Each structure stands twice: as structure tokens, then as C-alpha cells.
Amino acid sequence: MNQREKKANRRTKHLLDQSIFNGDISDSMKYFQETAYRFHFLLAFMYEVIKGKEFTQEDAIQVVPVKIASRATRVNELKKAVKAGFIIEERSTKDKRARMYKPSDEMFSDFLNLCDGVFFPKI
């Protein structure tokens, strides 16, 4: 293994140790790592949330490309995350028919903790 491969391998192991191999990971992050779709959703959704985007149902299901999951799957997974309490659904103040989605405080904090472990390891 050359130096570049060794470095990539160490970083990959670190990422795995901080995520799917981490037995102490929070329930919300564990939930979003159960399937590839959920993990894609977590990353894309939180990326937009941190930038300040507000999400309608349509926006939330569009953060992951159609080639990864069907519309029905995306809607179903959003509803499951709401039911699990990781995503909060609220009525829009502007349009009473619209529903808005945001991460729970727990999920937001857990995501930031995951990012800290992955990108800013305590050595």
C-alpha cells in the first residue's frame, strides 16, 4: 500500500469508527444510518438546514435525487422520520395547507456531534 492509499484507508476507518461502527452513536444518527437513502437524506437535509433553508414537504423529499429512491419511498421515509421524532412537522404560518419540516433539537445537536467526531477528532 502506498502513502496515498494508507492515508485514505486511515481516514476511511476513522469515518467508519465515528459513524456505523460507533456503538455509542446517538439514536437519531443510528436511525439515519440504517439505510443508504436515510444517510443520503441526512447529509443533504442537514446541509441545507445549516445554510438556513426552510423545507416544505416537497423540498424535503427533493433533497435526495430521484435515482436514489422513488417519490413514494421518499415521502414514506420523511413520514417515518417525523413519527420517530427526529424531524418536526409544523403548519406553515404563510400557507395553512403547507407543512414545514425541520430537524428536532436532538437531531440537530447529534448531527453536529457526529460532524465534530468525523472532522475534528480529539487526539
Q: Under CATH, which number does the domain 3-119 receive?
A: 1.10.10.10
**Is pLDDT at 123 greater than 60 in this prediction?**
no
**Is pLDDT at 90 greater than 80 in this prediction?**
yes
Domain spans in the chain, listed from the N-terminal domain onward: 3-119
Predicted model pTM: 0.86
pLDDT digits 0-9 by tens, 40-72: 999 999 999 999 999 999 999 999 888 888 999
Q: Which of 98, 37, 92, 100 is nearest to 69 (CA)?
A: 37
